[in-house]
Chains A and B, each alone.
Chain A
Amino acid sequence: MTLTAADKAHVKAIWSKAGGKAEEIGAEALGRMLEVFPQTKTYFSHYADLSVKSSQVRTHGKKIIDAITSAVNHIDDITGTLSSLSTLHANTLRVDPANFKLLSHTILVVLALYFPAEFTPEVHLACDKFLARVSHVLADKYR
């Protein structure tokens, strides 16, 4: 499902606001995923605190949002931009790709929560497609 020019514009517009709150948004998205979909906790057994307020969750959440920001900034070459992350997920992290959908969902929920006026159905559509693309690239080297 290809990103249209309109999709790219919508993603860049909303991400220009989200990118500046990377730690907050990342912590919320990651923390909510861990709470709403408890099976995802299995990947974080080494974390002491899995809540949204946890410093480990905040740090890791920011890392994720920053990576997505770089994909937004190079939206015409997501594959190239996320290449090393793709390798990392395939060889080292080996997170089951089903989980990318879960985190994508909570990212959308958090965008709606923080930016209710901007997160219109059209922007929702664009972000859903964009995150699906990112997920696809991350899983690309799995097998």
Chain B
Amino acid sequence: MVHWTDEERDIIKTFWGKIDAEEAGHQALTRVLVVYPWTQRYFSTFGNLSKPSAIAGNPKVRAHGKRVVVALGDAIKNLDNVKATYAKLSELHSEKLHVDPENFRLLGEALIIVLAGQFGAAFTPAVQATWQKLLAVVTAALSSKYH
């Protein structure tokens, strides 16, 4: 079980309250698809991903980005049991979606960069460390059912 300090729980709760899941998710997924274009392999049904402006304007990208960050809320509501919370989701990503877990790490990094851009100086090193820890825990949980 992951140990969270009171400070970390506080930071997560405070910032989660200020994050617009749709906007943050959209921006993070857009960055993943632009910065690591090979990730587009998972989105052949999304239509036009031919250039950054197309990706940023693509409604399916927006919808999917939102879905992913909204799901992050489940982990945040169950910080003491993220692994169990994401067991089914992990199975889905492994057995049905066949997503390389490296992509969870890439999306996590992109989200950190989006948060840094949004919050500026308020995104202190301690806040960044907490969110990186959360995303590492999420990545591990999503990878846990792969075999």
Measured CB to CB, the residues of A under 8 A from B are 28, 31-32, 35-36, 51-52, 105, 108-110, 112-113, 116, 119-122, 124-125, 128
A106 to chain B, nearest CB (A): 8
Instruction: Provide 20 A-B residue pairs closer than 8 Å at the C-beta atoms, listed in order of the A residue.
Output: A31-B125, A32-B128, A35-B126, A36-B128, A36-B129, A109-B112, A109-B113, A109-B128, A112-B114, A113-B120, A113-B121, A116-B117, A116-B118, A116-B120, A120-B52, A121-B31, A124-B31, A124-B34, A124-B35, A128-B35
Pair A124/B113 contact, Cβ less than 8 Å: yes
**Which residues B81-131 have CB closer than 8 A to chain A?**
109, 112-114, 116-118, 120-121, 123, 125-126, 128-129
Once the chains bind, are A108 and B113 in contact (CB under 8 Å)?
yes
Residues of B within 8 A of A119 (CB): 113, 117
**Contact between chains at B117 and A122 (CB < 8 Å):** no
The residue in chain B whose Cβ has the minimal distance to the Cβ of A34 is B125
Q: Is B132 an interface residue (CB 8 A)?
A: yes
Known: A35-B129, A109-B112, A109-B113. A125 touches B120 (CB 8 A): no
Given contacts A32-B129, A35-B126, 9 further A-B contacts (CB under 8 A): A31-B125, A36-B129, A51-B125, A112-B114, A112-B116, A112-B117, A113-B120, A121-B31, A121-B52
* Residues in B neighbouring A120, C-beta threshold 8 A: 52
* B56 within 8 Å of A (CB atoms): yes
Q: Does B30 belong to the interface (CB within 8 Å)? A: yes
In the A-B complex, the 10 residue pairs with the closest CB atoms: A116-B117, A121-B34, A113-B116, A112-B117, A112-B116, A35-B125, A125-B35, A112-B113, A36-B129, A109-B116
- Give the secondary structure class of B's interface: helix
Closest Cβ–Cβ distance, residue A25 to chain B (whole Å): 13
Nearest chain B CB to A71 CB, angstrom units = 20
| Distance in Å: Cβ of B30 to nearest Cβ of chain A | 6
Most chain A CB within a 10 A radius of its CB, from B31, B109, B116, B118:
B116
Contacts of B123 in A (CB 8 A): 113
How far is A2 from B7 in the complex, measured between Cα atoms in Å?
43
In the complex, the answer to whether A36 meets B113 with C-beta atoms within 8 Å is no
User: Cβ of A128: which chain B residues have Cβ within 8 Å of it?
Assistant: 35
Q: Is the CB of B30 within 8 A of A36?
A: no
Nearest Cβ in chain A — how far from B106, in angstroms?
Answer: 10
